[in-house]
Amino acid sequence: MNKNRKLYIVIPAYNESSNIKSVIDEWHSVLKLADEDSRLVIINDGSTDDTLAILYDLQKEYSKLIILDKQNGGHGAACLYGYRYAIKQHADFVFQTDSDGQTVASEFTPFWDERNRYDFQIGWRRGRQDGFGRVIVTNTLKALIFFMFGCTVTDANTPYRLMSSNLLKEYLAVIPEDFFLANVLISILAVKRKAHIKFRQITFRPRQGGKNTINFRRIVGIGLQSLREFRKFKKENYMFLAGGE
């Protein structure tokens, strides 16, 4: 096995029956860049449509596809579930993206080529095409992060991130299993603890199928829940945020 080439791609999925086949087809092909023991991991987060049945059918076709089925706990909890699984399988790197088809697999190669230069490479969604409501959420989070943690993160919640498993494992040790905005918190920790980070501009397309559920009520709810969870985490992990153990 070549050193530092074992890649686990983690994709949470909830009611993505209209997108999941094309997403798997696109991202499964990326594994040819990595070691033969690399895997594509789909976490079915308690879908109520045909997503899980489709996944099991696709597993017959895609040899490196792993399916993890869990009760619904939200996007953050599903990501954390997948990250912990990848680390247990001794992945060298963990990459996360989403199952709605908004990201582009062909843009992954520069991330992979520079995997040993950075602890984290995170996509930067400049000129995103998925609606003004999503832009509001991103900007609200950016302001909230500065208010709560005193740092600026270029794009904290991008579902396009290549992470060193060693540093990710260190961060997961202090993150609750059901943390709401897991990727945001990981980005904050990386900035606060001065990890070697690169933000790369990526394409972010409109959702390729299914329903966009964002609305003003959800935006307000996301902001309030984020504030509560960030405040609690900051209180309980002050020293870790400051760069200590």
Q: Which two tokens stand for residue 32?
A: 């040819």
Tell me: the pLDDT tens digits for 62-81?
999 999 999 999 999 999 99
The pTM (predicted TM-score) of the whole model is: 0.91
Beta strands in 93-217 (DSSP E): 93-97, 120-124, 160-164, 197-201
Query: What is the model's pLDDT at position 129?
Result: 56
Query: What is the model's pLDDT at position 245?
Result: 74
Q: In what order do the strands lie in the sheet with 7-13?
A: 65-70, 39-45, 7-13, 93-97, 160-164, 120-124, 197-201
Residue 87: partners with Cβ closer than 8 Å, 6 or more residues away: 94, 165, 168, 169, 172
Distance linking the first and last C-alpha atoms of the chain: 33
For the chain, domain boundaries: 7-241
Kindly indicate the confidence band of residue 222, based on its pLDDT and cuts at 50, 70 and 90: low
Tell me: the pLDDT tens digits for 144-181?
899 999 999 989 889 999 999 999 999 999 999 999 89
Whether residue 3 is predicted with pLDDT greater than 90 in this model: the reply is no
CATH match of 7-241 with 3.90.550.10: yes
Kindly indicate the confidence band of residue 220, based on its pLDDT and cuts at 50, 70 and 90: low
- Short-list 68, 99, 63, 65, CA closest to 82: 68
CA angle 233, 103, 175 (to 5 degrees): 15
CA distances (Å), origin 51, targets 11, 44, 75: 13, 8, 15
